[in-house]
Structure 1
Amino acid sequence: MREKILIGASELFLNFGFKSVTMDDIANNLGISKKTIYLHFANKTKLVEATTMYLFESISEGINQICALQKDPIEEIYSIKQFIMEHLKDEKSSPQYQLQKYYPKICNSLKEKQFKVMQTCVIDNLKRGIQLQLFRESINVEFVARIYFSIMLAIKDKDLFPDKLFSMNMLMSNYLEYHLRGICTAKGLETLNKFITSNQS
């Protein structure tokens, strides 16, 4: 039952946001009593925390599976982006932004975990890109990995990038291209341009 509640709550939170979804909404959506939810989660904050970690674990596992395929590093970055967007429902409820605003402690805990996962994944991606001569040998891998993470968080700030001007898909696509054009060799740029062209057609 606990996992059923987590899955149901995840769907509602991602579609409508952490703030607006109530325990009644979740109970009604799952066809169970609110009392049943409280048997597993003491309050909404505990449920938000558990749901957030549940989503994090699911997404981390998916990213690890994509990384294990050892794809071309440029294609890998876009595959991870696509996977995350699908699992977070295109981030239409701005989950990270809402967590920061209404549940800052949970958000900070999540950020620490995201940083560890992304550092491992991004550093490996950068090193493989350098080995394959797609990324410049002169880049500072540690610096680029941290900049990558910090900007991924920044583009989710709805005060900086309001929905009426920027969709999350557009922001992610533009940032990934911006990131890659900054580190690619001539060979890498050729690969990137081919990839972008083939995915636009």
Structure 2
Amino acid sequence: MRDKIIHKSAELFLNLGFKSVTMDDIATEMGISKKTIYVHFKNKTKLVEAVTFNLFDTICDGIDSICDNAPNPIEELYSIKMFVMHHLKNEKSSPQYQLKKYYPQIYDVLKYKQFEKMHQSVKDSLNHGVETGVFRKSIDVDFISRMYFTGMTGIKDNMFFPTETYNMNYLMESYLEYHLRAIVSEKGMTILNNFIHNQS
């Protein structure tokens, strides 16, 4: 039952927002009593925490699988973007922003976990790209992996990129291309241009 509650709550939170979904809403959606939810989670904050880190673990597992199977580091990044977008339902309700505003402690822990995961994952990908001649040999791998995380986090900030002007898919697509064009070799540029051309 605990897993079912987490799964249904994640769906509601991502579509409607952490703030607007109540314990009553979740109980009604699931056809169970609110008391049943409280058996597993002592309050809404504990439920939000469980949903957040469950989603984080699911996304990490998916990213690991993509990294193991991608034909090259360029397509790997695009596949990760598609996977994350699918899991976050295009962030209709800006869940990251709501988490930061209403559950700042959970947000801070999540951001640190995201940084640890992405920093290592992007470093591995960059090193692989350098070894295979897709990225320039002169790039500073540690610096670029930190910049990549900062940029990916920054485009989700509503203050700088309001959702009524920019949708998340456009932002991620544009940022990925911006990031890759800065680091690819000639070989990588050919792969990137062909990939973008085939997507359009």
- TM-score under structure 2 length normalisation: 0.98
Give the structure 2 partner of residue 27 of structure 1.
27
* Superposition deviation, residue 116 in structure 1: 1.3
Check if 1:122 corresponds to 2:119.
Answer: no
One-letter code aligned to 1:158: N
Give the structure 2 partner of residue 197 of structure 1.
197
- What is the number of equivalent residue pairs in this alignment? 200
Q: How does 1:48-127 map to 2 (within 5 A)?
A: 48-127=48-127
Segments of 4+ moved more than 4 angstroms: none
In 1, Cα distance between equivalents of 2:196 and 2:101:
35
One-letter code aligned to 2:127: K
In 2, Cα distance between equivalents of 1:197 and 1:27:
47
Give the structure 2 partner of residue 144 of structure 1.
144
* Superposition deviation, residue 94 in structure 1: 1.1
SS in 1 for 2:118: helix
Check if 1:15 corresponds to 2:15.
Answer: yes
State the identity %.
58
* Superposition deviation, residue 186 in structure 1: 1.4
* Superposition deviation, residue 47 in structure 1: 0.5
In 2, Cα distance between equivalents of 1:171 and 1:182:
17
* Superposition deviation, residue 70 in structure 1: 4.3
SS in 1 for 2:169: helix
Check if 1:36 corresponds to 2:36.
Answer: yes
In 2, Cα distance between equivalents of 1:40 and 1:103:
19
SS in 1 for 2:126: helix
69-78 vs 175-184, which moves further = 69-78
Q: Any unmatched runs of 5+ in structure 1?
A: none
One-letter code aligned to 1:6: I
In 2, Cα distance between equivalents of 1:74 and 1:131:
13
Give per-residue Cα distances to partners, 1:99-141, cap 9 Å, x unaligned: 1111110001001111111112101110111111111111100
In 2, Cα distance between equivalents of 1:90 and 1:189:
28
SS in 2 for 1:197: helix
One-letter code aligned to 1:153: T
* Superposition deviation, residue 71 in structure 1: 2.5
In 1, Cα distance between equivalents of 2:87 and 2:109:
20
Calculate the aligned-residue CA RMSD, in Å.
0.8
Q: Any unmatched runs of 5+ in structure 2?
A: none
Give the structure 2 partner of residue 158 of structure 1.
158
Give the structure 2 partner of residue 172 of structure 1.
172
In 2, Cα distance between equivalents of 1:109 and 1:71:
33
Give the structure 2 partner of residue 46 of structure 1.
46
One-letter code aligned to 2:144: V
